[in-house]
Structure 1
Amino acid sequence: MNAHRDVSALAWNAEVVKTRESRARAGLRVGTPEEDLPLPSDLIRIMPAKGAAMSADSPGSLAVIGGGIIGLSIARRAAQAGWSVRVHRSSEQGASWVAAGMLAPHSEGWPGEERLLRLGLDSLRLWQQGDFAHGLPAQVITARESLVVGVDSADVADLRTVADWLSAQGHPVIWQSAAREVEPLLAQGIRHGFRAPTELAVDNRAVLNALRTACEGLGVSWAPPVTDLSTVPCDAVVIANGVDAPALWPGLPIRPVKGEVLRLRWRTGAMPVPQRVIRARVHGRQVYVVPRGDGVVVGATQYEHGRDTAPAVSGVRDLLDDACTVLPGLGEYELAECSAGLRPTTPDNLPLVQRLDGRTLVAAGHGRSGFLLAPWTADQVVTELMAVGAHR
């Protein structure tokens, strides 16, 4: 996890230059496709693209391209704001269905990624205190804390670096030198790590199903995927179809990163399901174990392998070996599912949330953080739609 390059925002006009200093903290990209994509600012809405005038028009018709966590979150939020929404979605299950559902800005953090950390914390607050979770079943929350541990001395040193970096910024992480007192299910010999007591995990599939139901209750309609935006009859379009976004708007810097994920089912006589997310570094590799009502989700590998979504034996083997190194009792669980998804990843790991032209916005490239960043993304996109108005 290397520190990512700092990309300066391009000044389109005096207005953008004037406001940029006040926009230094958030995670929103602005600009036209021909410009280099800047790092986030703290403005609540996206500045309109060249030629897109601000408008007080009432909401119109909106097409959301993509039916994963980002597309559904935007569709629900837009429908609540009065838009007539149609979601173009595939019948195939994508990365959102495979995901583990961790809302973990602290334990995913790394020095040099301060902007991504701040963005994640802003969105976590929306999960905890905003209205995003309203209408979702209470049981979608499966854990309310993360414990991050290291297996060998190098793993522990890496975690100490992260914990010190977070603590220096005032974030609530707690270093542990007796981790098995916090989580007795850990293997003997695992002692060091840190707790992130404000992090959450959600049942990703329950969230997706609840969002679909909520959208239908708000009058959202469903339609097949599209391959050409010019064939989409609507006032505004949001491209939110993850790794497929560049096919609709060539040049978007999004690439697929494969991640294999396992689902293990509890069996009678096996160790109990952990009550918190367990994350670990195991001889340099990362593994996580996320509670579910009937077992755990184990993930995830991460490598670039084109658009291949077939789980590989080597990836499954590594995940099982590492998970059982940390929690030996998992060996008694049933291996219920092996799957792989394609994370839509950008060069600097920051999402693309921007206006592309007078009618079209993009909300994609969320990488490993789709569920975490969904509330923030939905708010940003709909605020932009309401502020600028649909280009007619």
Structure 2
Amino acid sequence: MPSPEVVVVGGGIAGLGVAWELAARGRRVVVLERDRLGRGTSWAAAGMLAPSAELGFEELDLYALGRESLARWRAFARRLEAASGAEVGYREEGTLVVADDRDSLHALRRLFRFQEEHGAPVEWLSGEEAVDLEPLLSPRLPGAVFSPEDHQVDHRAVVAALAVAARRAGAELREGTAVVHIGPDVEAPTVRLGDGTEVVARVVVLAAGAWSPSIGGLDPAPPVRGVKGQALALRLDPERGLDLGHVVRGPDAYLVPKADGRLIVGATSEEGVTDRRVTAGGVYRLLEGAVEIVPGVEEMELVETWAAHRPASRDHAPLLGRSPHPGVVYATGHYRHGVLLAPVTAEEVAAEVDRLLDGAAETAPVLAPFSPLRFPD
């Protein structure tokens, strides 16, 4: 393969998405992944596409980006399935956010009013109405909010499909290839690998998630930290009435049913914890939160546990676009929203790289609030 135009550092959902888009546009692309493709945070996610359910009081720009990305997901999924020959489990059944006591009901009503004020497509349900929609819910729940336009996807199928699609489009994907240093340069940025070899490109895309700040050569380093999350999977059993038809989010756990019969339960949020151990305490807290809203969880088989680190920026919004470093573009810091933001990240960061390669100075308005330059140091 001739020298690449673009080196993508990181082979998760962000890096693979950008690589696929660029390769499909005819760019020469190499992806360098320190471990296995798509087996980091992308593998550990739950696949929720829920901008309305996750709307926070101080995250209006992020909500707008999430809604934009959600609007692209159906076409993105179809295009990815056509390019890879594999299904990605895109589902449109909606999301239920439930309260489990008086305090959480008050908080949910306050959030519901805020969601309505900002145009989120949400519906208030009584506890009885929520159980009518999702019979496995606890009959003691006092209320819920239904987000009919919040969906889900099989995140593991997505990253596998992205790898196939990127290769078919001409991208070179290298696993077990650690990048230890990036040398910024306007015309020829370089990446140095763990074995000392260097790869020269015209643009480097940093999509290494929580590992982004550990790569040398970037001063200041990307303002990203890892936030540990533990999660688990149970086995649904429709024959025994143990089945869910919607994503359900409670105060202390979310439950995401998958087409393969798994029910993903997540996730802890642990600041300053660098290990990837699954702990008894973490599993206990998740199951306790799940049983509170879906008592039938107690009867389900536990089939898998895992932990990973979400890449969080200072304001919990992603870093997308040109960095402070010449020739280096960021696609990192997605925190809990990497799967939701996959289409907009892939398409808009690839377009930004195209503009950079073509010598254009402007940046797309959709990326402006998420510029890596928004942090002064």
- Whole-Å Cα distance in 1 between the matches of residues 78 and 34 of structure 2? 25
> Which of residues 163, 180, 189 is equivalent to 2:131?
180
Partner of 2:269: 302
Opposite residue 118 of structure 1, the aligned amino acid is: A
Is the 8 Å Cα contact of residues 143 and 275 (structure 1) preserved in structure 2? no
Is the 8 Å Cα contact of residues 321 and 352 (structure 2) preserved in structure 1? no
> Which of residues 77, 83, 101 is equivalent to 1:152?
101
Structure 2 counterparts to residues 13-162 of structure 1, below 5 A = 61-92=5-36, 93-128=39-74, 130-131=75-76, 133-136=78-81, 137-138=86-87, 140-162=89-111
- Whole-Å Cα distance in 1 between the matches of residues 88 and 157 of structure 2? 9
Partner of 2:290: 323
The answer to whether structure 1 residue 277 and structure 2 residue 247 are counterparts is yes
- Whole-Å Cα distance in 2 between the matches of residues 132 and 61 of structure 1? 26
Taking structure 1 as reference, are residues 143 and 125 closer, same or farther at Cα in structure 2, changes over 3 Å only? Answer: closer
- Whole-Å Cα distance in 2 between the matches of residues 162 and 76 of structure 1? 37
- Whole-Å Cα distance in 2 between the matches of residues 237 and 306 of structure 1? 29
- Whole-Å Cα distance in 2 between the matches of residues 153 and 266 of structure 1? 29
- In structure 1, the residue corresponding to 2:131 is in which secondary structure? helix
Partner of 1:200: 151
Alignment TM-score, normalising by the size of structure 2: 0.83
1:170 is displaced (CA, Å) by 2.2
- Count of residue pairs brought into register by the alignment: 328
Partner of 1:341: 308
Taking structure 1 as reference, are residues 139 and 239 closer, same or farther at Cα in structure 2, changes over 3 Å only? Answer: closer
Partner of 2:181: 228
1:134 is displaced (CA, Å) by 1.3
Deviations 1:44-73 (A, max 9, x none): xxxxxxxxxxxxxxx962111001110111
> Which of residues 210, 230, 234 is equivalent to 1:260?
230
1:312 is displaced (CA, Å) by 1.3
- In structure 2, the residue corresponding to 1:135 is in which secondary structure? helix
- Whole-Å Cα distance in 1 between the matches of residues 283 and 121 of structure 2? 33
Deviations 1:130-163 (A, max 9, x none): 4454132455124530011000011111111111
RMSD between aligned residues: 1.8
- Whole-Å Cα distance in 2 between the matches of residues 169 and 90 of structure 1? 41
Is the 8 Å Cα contact of residues 237 and 359 (structure 1) preserved in structure 2? yes
Structure 2 counterparts to residues 361-372 of structure 1, below 5 A = 361-372=329-340
Partner of 2:257: 291
1:232 is displaced (CA, Å) by 2.3
- Whole-Å Cα distance in 2 between the matches of residues 245 and 238 of structure 1? 11
1:115 is displaced (CA, Å) by 1.2
Opposite residue 48 of structure 2, the aligned amino acid is: M
Is the 8 Å Cα contact of residues 271 and 330 (structure 1) preserved in structure 2? no
Opposite residue 100 of structure 2, the aligned amino acid is: V
Structure 2 unaligned runs (5+)? 183-189, 191-197, 360-377
- Whole-Å Cα distance in 2 between the matches of residues 132 and 361 of structure 1? 25
1:268 is displaced (CA, Å) by 7.0
- Whole-Å Cα distance in 1 between the matches of residues 272 and 117 of structure 2? 37
Partner of 1:169: 118
What fraction of aligned residue pairs are identical, expressed as a percent?
A: 34
- Whole-Å Cα distance in 2 between the matches of residues 359 and 390 of structure 1? 12
Opposite residue 50 of structure 2, the aligned amino acid is: A
Higher relative contact order, structure no. (Cα contacts within 8 Å, ≥ 6 residues apart): 1
1:201 is displaced (CA, Å) by 0.8
Opposite residue 361 of structure 1, the aligned amino acid is: V
- Whole-Å Cα distance in 1 between the matches of residues 214 and 313 of structure 2? 15
- Whole-Å Cα distance in 2 between the matches of residues 156 and 361 of structure 1? 43
Alignment TM-score, normalising by the size of structure 1: 0.80
- Whole-Å Cα distance in 2 between the matches of residues 272 and 375 of structure 1? 33
- In structure 2, the residue corresponding to 1:371 is in which secondary structure? coil
1:322 is displaced (CA, Å) by 1.1
- Whole-Å Cα distance in 2 between the matches of residues 361 and 308 of structure 1? 28
- Whole-Å Cα distance in 2 between the matches of residues 383 and 216 of structure 1? 19
Partner of 1:189: 140
Is the 8 Å Cα contact of residues 351 and 365 (structure 1) preserved in structure 2? yes
- In structure 2, the residue corresponding to 1:228 is in which secondary structure? strand
- In structure 1, the residue corresponding to 2:11 is in which secondary structure? coil
Opposite residue 90 of structure 2, the aligned amino acid is: I
Opposite residue 256 of structure 2, the aligned amino acid is: V
